[in-house]
Every structure is written in C-alpha cells, then in structure tokens.
Amino acid sequence: MDEIAQIGFQIIALAKDKPEGINNDDLAESLQSVPPEQRVQALNKLLQEAVLEILKKGNTLIYRLKDPGKKSSAPKDIDNEERVIYNIVEEGGNKGIWIRDIRVKSNLVMTQLNKVLKQLENKKLIKAVKSVNVSSGRGVWCARFAAVLMIVRSSYNSQASKKKVYMLYNLDPDRSITGGAWYQDQDFEAEFVDVLNQQCLRFLRQKREVAKGSGEGPLAVQKLSECSVADVHRFISDLGISKISLDEDDLETILKTVVYDGKAERVAQISGGFLYRAIETPIAAPGLVQMPCGICPVVKNCADCGEITPKLCTYISEWLD
C-alpha cells in the first residue's frame, strides 16, 4: 500500500470520529508527522473517489464522509471550488437553484461564484435556465386566459418565477420552470389556449347532439352527453392541432376554462373523477345577469390598472356590444 493511501485511511478514520466534518486545522493537528503536500494529495484522492464531500462553513472548508446512498456525478478533473458548486447545483435537481441560494450555501463572494459558474457552464457541466414569466401573456387578456394562468400557476415553483436558475447540463427542466404546454419562449400562449378551448367545446357539443339524436329521455340524453377527460384528450390528439405533446392534465385545464365560460358543466363522479358536458341556455338572460364578471374566476384580481382590467377584457367588450 502506498504512502498516500495510508494517509487517506488516517483521514477517513478521523472523519468517522467527527461525522459533522473536519477542517484543515483538525487534519494538521491529527497528522502532524504528515507533510502538508502529501496531506493535500490524500485529500484530493478521497474527493475524486467520492469518499469525502467538501462543504464550506463560513470561510472554512469542511470535509465530511459522503453518504454511500448519495452518489455525486461530479467529474474527477474539477477543482475543489467547482466541486462544491457542482454538488450544490446537483441538489437542486431539475427545478434548479437560484444563484442567491448557491452563494449562501457556498459562502463564495459574488465575483468568485460567477467565475466558477462560468467555468462549469463552459465545461458543459451545468446550465442556466430562465424561468417562465407567469404574469406575461400574448394577445388580449381576458377571464379565460387569466383562469388558465391561475390553474397552472399553483403547480409552479413560484420562487423561481422570472428568475434564472442553474441545473446540471443533462437535465430537462421541470414544468414549473418551463411553464409546460402553455408557454413558448417564457411567454404565455393565449392564442393556443383559445384554439384548444374552442375545439374542446366543439367536441362537447358534438357529443350532446349525438345524445339528442338517440331518442332517449332527457335524463339519459344528459348522461350520454357526458365526456371524460380521456375522451377529449383522444379527440384533440387525433386532430393533430398541437405540435407539442399534451397530457390529460393539460386538457382538463382547458376544459375548466370552458366551464368558466359558462358553456359546459363539470359533473363529479363517485369514483372521485369528473365528467364534462356542454350546456345551453334555453332563454337568453337579460341585462346584468349576462355580465361575465359574475362567473369570472379572477374577478378579485381585476382592477383599474395592471394585466387584468375591464378595459382589456374581451368578455366585457362582447357583453357591451
């Protein structure tokens, strides 16, 4: 066994006695007979072999035995500062981590942190991803589009909103970062939502017309008019109007906007799921009863200024016309 390996075993034994971690002072005190150069070589070897992990507490480097179940994918040819930052970014997973959080965990000054991040980016070990702007949208704002934002925003990483986050280079960003199907280049696709809304409504109405032609009684017709999210998903997929893959959760979000439009209803099932069916009003409601504000899901966010206002709402414009 070579001398560096023997020193490594001594360091491991010391780290086992102090599970909270050891620093360079602990090593110098316990390994007084070991030259500093050999101590550094042994430390680097243990770090490269992922036996130890390196952390930073204040301005002090801490070496700690690595949890066997926690495997790092950090390459062996990066220096200690790069390894610290890489491990912090790795912990963020596919939701990423803010530069502010990296700075707090690494305790590096901003200039040095930016330098290390740039080095890791150049080596294609990490990447910076810009989060969606959940408050921006293309096209005219109205209750329908605001409703979609409200529905999907609850699943977003609100802390990452409008922020640049870092993650490992080979990871695909989480939907909470990209915005999923409703965002393109960090902007909300209002026109796409509108097309899907219209096609979902068309399918519900087709289902209702087929039910009416069955010759069954009113209750049976109502039952035959009901559609599952899976039915609507199959219809939209067959149309081929979306260039991206939509799942059933995406289509249920759109179906909810049809309900908010007052053109469909949601029927709860004993199993816990929901069915949807188109509805029609036999007699047009007069005057203020038709005002869209009464069924608008984001009326509490409507104000004289901002992104949701009566002046920009197409529902109000249609009602006034």
Top-confidence residue, 155 or 113? 113
SS3 at position 227: strand
Euclidean distance between CA atoms 211 and 227, whole angstroms:
11
User: Would you state the structure tokens that stand for residue 211, as one six-digit string?
Assistant: 């039910």
SS3 at position 166: strand
Q: Is the pLDDT of residue 62 over 80?
A: yes
The pLDDT confidence band at residue 51, using thresholds 50, 70 and 90, is: confident
Contacts of 234 (CB under 8 A, 6+ apart): none
Structural domains of the chain, with CATH: 3-65 (1.10.10.10), 80-188 (1.10.10.10), 191-278 (1.10.10.10), 287-320 (no CATH)
User: Would you state the structure tokens that stand for residue 317, as one six-digit string?
Assistant: 């414009």
The pLDDT confidence band at residue 19, using thresholds 50, 70 and 90, is: confident
Q: Is the pLDDT of residue 157 over 80?
A: no
CA neighbor of 258 nearest in space, from 284, 285, 232, 291: 232
Residue with token string 């480097």: 61
Q: Is the pLDDT of residue 236 over 90?
A: yes
Q: Are 229 and 272 in contact (CB under 8 A)?
A: no
The pLDDT confidence band at residue 142, using thresholds 50, 70 and 90, is: very low
How far is residue 146 from each of residues 11, 156, 213, 243, measured CA to CA in Å? 59, 15, 36, 23
Looking only at the bridges linking them, the beta strands covering 60-65 and 52-57 are antiparallel
Digit-coded pLDDT (tens) for 107-131: 788 999 999 999 999 999 999 988 7
User: Would you state the structure tokens that stand for residue 178, as one six-digit string?
Assistant: 């990209």
**pLDDT at residue number 159:** 42
Q: Are 80 and 108 in contact (CB under 8 A)?
A: no
Q: Is the pLDDT of residue 80 over 90?
A: no
Digit-coded pLDDT (tens) for 175-229: 777 767 777 766 777 788 888 999 999 999 999 999 999 888 888 988 999 999 9
Euclidean distance between CA atoms 199 and 254, whole angstroms:
10
- Residue 284, Cβ neighbours under 10 Å: how many? 7
**pLDDT at residue number 174:** 80
**pLDDT at residue number 147:** 56
**pLDDT at residue number 185:** 67
Q: Are 201 and 276 in contact (CB under 8 A)?
A: no
- Centroid of chain to Cα 171: 13
CA neighbor of 56 nearest in space, from 72, 26, 80: 80
**pLDDT at residue number 140:** 38
Top-confidence residue, 269 or 139? 269
pTM of the model: 0.52
Three-state helix/strand/coil letters over 194-226: HHHHHHHHHHHHHHHHHHHCCCCCHHHHHHHCC
